[in-house]
Structure 1
Amino acid sequence: MRILGIETSCDETGVAIYDGKKGILANFLHSQVATHAKYGGVVPELAARDHIRKLLPLIRESLAYTHLNKQDINAVAYTAGPGLIGALLVGASVGRSLAWAWNIPAIPIHHMEGHLLSPMLEPDPPKFPFCALLVSGGHTLLIAVKEIGKYHVLGESLDDAVGEAFDKTAKLLGLTYPGGPALAKLAEFGNPHRFYFPRPMLDRPDLNFSFSGLKTYALNTFRKYGIESAPDIACAFQDAVVDVLVSKSCRALQQTGYKCLIIAGGVSANQALRNQFSAISKKMKIKVYYPRLDFCTDNGAMIAFAGYQSLISGRKIDLNFKVRPKWSLRDLYLT
């Protein structure tokens, strides 16, 4: 069984083909970083137009690369939300049109479920049950995962997502887009002992997050000490974020009793975060899993795989499904 996966939730056009027996057969990605860099962030209209230009050529390239044709594809999976509505509509329109023309199912996929399942594409996938920390530009989630389709949200951000906080803080420090990786790079040159930033909500017993106040603290520190202190501020900011994410994740493991944690989403590529989890995993005797770096950011492979899992599970597919720019994972197969 082969699934064509389409990802167009934001600023990356991803197309992949997943085979139930052979795994990923093709995985192509077009990044729009150069398009949006001059504006300092994603421009939704430009993102949608670029998806229109790139999506069909990438689908053709994927089929040519695998020497497959339409008769070899059993379903089309596409990101239905959350994300930018214009970008989502491009992927949904193309995906559903192809499925109709090829007389195969069209499967709407929740973007964060794609990230959640992405570590399962690795040669040594995690085993159920496990906790999942999903950290991206739009989401910060802690989830208890019993099996595919059985998710319980343990905590989430009450304001800025962690990736959003990274990007906004990078921007106030004068760094270029995309801000998260630029801030992490700058933090490598900072003095980790000069500033100590607060660790928001660690004194609360719940597993929710808040990063907007931390961003404001960084801004006030920057205004007081100036541009020459930017590396030290970046270092202090990153340390605070990493401490919060690690502490809350450890608390989730303790509350659930699980011994396995996966970390996925764009921020899971952050090296400081990985180093901290590596140290903690040895102390707590837990296993920590990540997707490969190519699968940390948005990609078609995770959507194709999620579509395959949806299809073999027999989930009912709504033929009238519409894209959902705001779509909580709490509304998806929750137990």
Structure 2
Amino acid sequence: MGLGLAFESSCDETGVALVENGRRVISAPLFSQIAMHRPYGGIVPEYASRAHLEKFTPLLAEILKAHPLAPGDLDYVAVTTRPGLVGALLVGYQTARAAARHFQVPLIGVHHLEAHLAAVRLSGHELQFPALGMILSGGNSAIYRLSSVGQTELVGDTLDDAAGEALDKAAQILRLGYPGGPAIEKQAALYLERRGFLTGEEAKLDAENPFPLILKSLERERVQFSFSGIKTALLRRFDAAKPEEVPALAFFYQDRIVEHIVRNLAHAIGLNPKRPVIAAGGVLANQRLRRALSQLCEKLRVPLIVPENQFCTDNAAMVAAAAELYFEAGLKSPYTEISSNNGFAAAKG
């Protein structure tokens, strides 16, 4: 069990965290770039990299002021090395590399998606092996088999876009602003209330949904996501819609995405029975999705483990949680170099 200092800069969140045993967060200051990117409706990579460069030093200083550290106090420094925006990753990597040299400890490179799954450790849970891991974020929508620390195998990926990106683009189409996920969820909840239904009664409106099922003919032996078609369908509907119809479009669009995710997870569980499901990533902050996943796993009698909302989106504490797994197992992380590739590699003994 160790004390780790972690850095996160894969996209638009600048994070530094001091975490004990990969579970107890001592300090985790975070700078969100949402306000900076909002005028553009999405992430501007060069702006993201510059913000990381500006913010890492004051964030680290904040931790060291409250918790002075000297060489010998830490067990390791951890940093996200893939996948992500290469320029942004590079800023975090160089910062972490300097910290590791200063504190005279090993530098552990962390796969961003492994970090999302390891975030459940910050919420009092443990990664149970073997398990199924589902990542739903702005850049990734996939399900994996988790055999052990550093042993991850893809079950099904997206053919095109990711769930989080589909929600952001929908919010742009509906002119709801950025980031899109919370805006879509808010409009959907408003529509449900207007119709006189309670939270959890969304299925009662399913027959009215104007959007087609996504990959309706997907065989039960396959796990595959796709979100480009539903975006196109929304665009066409919006072109002919009145402003007062926006909440309804948000509601039915969100519900189709939730149904698609739930159906894919059901397929994955059928192919990998009796494995607990670890679901993580920023899209898991959506409460409609959480309820639907919980209902499915309860029906199929498999445990569902999800991080607290504060650990669903990108943060440095989850990077430390993942690095601690390698540290505890005495394994060397294979993610020593910066890459935009989201593929996994086997851990080294």
Q: Answer yes or no: same fold by TM over 0.5.
A: yes
Given that residues 164 and 282 in structure 2 are in contact (C-alpha distance below 8 angstroms), is that contact kept between their aligned partners in structure 1? yes
C-alpha displacement of 1:150: 1.7
Equivalent residue, structure 1, for 2:215: 201
Residue 139 (1) aligns with residue 153 (2): no
Letter in 2 for 1:10: C
Give the secondary structure class of the aligned counterpart of 1:73: coil
Residues 176-225 of structure 1, C-alpha deviation per residue, up to 9 Å, x if partnerless?
Answer: 11111111111112364543322222422210111100110111111122
Give the secondary structure class of the aligned counterpart of 2:240: helix
Matches within 5 A, 1:124-163: 124-163=125-164
Equivalent residue, structure 2, for 1:73: 74
Q: Distance in 1 between matches of 2:83 and 2:22?
A: 29
Gaps of 5+ in 2: 193-204
Matches within 5 A, 1:153-192: 153-190=154-191, 192=205
Q: TM-score, normalised by structure 2?
A: 0.89
Q: Distance in 2 between matches of 1:69 and 1:54?
A: 22
C-alpha displacement of 1:287: 1.6
Equivalent residue, structure 1, for 2:121: 120
Equivalent residue, structure 1, for 2:9: 8
Residue 90 (1) aligns with residue 91 (2): yes
Residues 11-60 of structure 1, C-alpha deviation per residue, up to 9 Å, x if partnerless?
Answer: 10111112228722222211111111122211111111111111121112
The count of aligned residue pairs is 332
- Closer, same or farther in 2 for the Cα pair 1:2/1:325, shift >3 Å? same
C-alpha displacement of 1:61: 1.5
Given that residues 23 and 121 in structure 2 are in contact (C-alpha distance below 8 angstroms), is that contact kept between their aligned partners in structure 1? no
Q: Distance in 1 between matches of 2:249 and 2:229?
A: 15
Q: Distance in 1 between matches of 2:120 and 2:217?
A: 31
Q: TM-score, normalised by structure 1?
A: 0.93
Given that residues 5 and 18 in structure 2 are in contact (C-alpha distance below 8 angstroms), is that contact kept between their aligned partners in structure 1? yes
Q: Distance in 2 between matches of 1:52 and 1:214?
A: 37
Residues 146-190 of structure 1, C-alpha deviation per residue, up to 9 Å, x if partnerless?
Answer: 222121110011100010011011101101111111111111123
Residue 288 (1) aligns with residue 289 (2): no
Letter in 1 for 2:108: I
- Closer, same or farther in 2 for the Cα pair 1:58/1:327, shift >3 Å? same
C-alpha displacement of 1:317: 5.2
Q: Distance in 1 between matches of 2:334 and 2:157?
A: 27
Q: Distance in 2 between matches of 1:318 and 1:117?
A: 17
Given that residues 22 and 121 in structure 2 are in contact (C-alpha distance below 8 angstroms), is that contact kept between their aligned partners in structure 1? no
Matches within 5 A, 1:255-334: 255-316=271-332, 321-329=336-344, 331-333=345-347
Residue 30 (1) aligns with residue 46 (2): no
Q: Distance in 2 between matches of 1:51 and 1:22?
A: 25
Q: Distance in 2 between matches of 1:50 and 1:164?
A: 22
Give the secondary structure class of the aligned counterpart of 2:28: strand
Given that residues 214 and 230 in structure 2 are in contact (C-alpha distance below 8 angstroms), is that contact kept between their aligned partners in structure 1? yes
Q: Distance in 1 between matches of 2:334 and 2:265?
A: 34
Equivalent pairs: percent with the same residue? 37
Q: Distance in 2 between matches of 1:318 and 1:115?
A: 17
Q: Distance in 1 between matches of 2:249 and 2:173?
A: 11
Give the secondary structure class of the aligned counterpart of 1:94: helix
C-alpha displacement of 1:267: 0.2
Given that residues 130 and 147 in structure 2 are in contact (C-alpha distance below 8 angstroms), is that contact kept between their aligned partners in structure 1? yes
Gaps of 5+ in 1: none
- Closer, same or farther in 2 for the Cα pair 1:22/1:289, shift >3 Å? closer
Stretch of structure 1 that moved more, 193-202 or 239-248: 193-202
Q: Distance in 2 between matches of 1:9 and 1:256?
A: 31
Given that residues 151 and 333 in structure 1 are in contact (C-alpha distance below 8 angstroms), is that contact kept between their aligned partners in structure 2? no
Letter in 2 for 1:199: L
Given that residues 13 and 51 in structure 1 are in contact (C-alpha distance below 8 angstroms), is that contact kept between their aligned partners in structure 2? yes
Query: Runs (4+) of structure 1 moved beyond 6 Å?
Result: none
Given that residues 120 and 306 in structure 2 are in contact (C-alpha distance below 8 angstroms), is that contact kept between their aligned partners in structure 1? yes
Q: Distance in 1 between matches of 2:130 and 2:340?
A: 29
Q: Distance in 1 between matches of 2:125 and 2:117?
A: 15
- Closer, same or farther in 2 for the Cα pair 1:12/1:22, shift >3 Å? closer
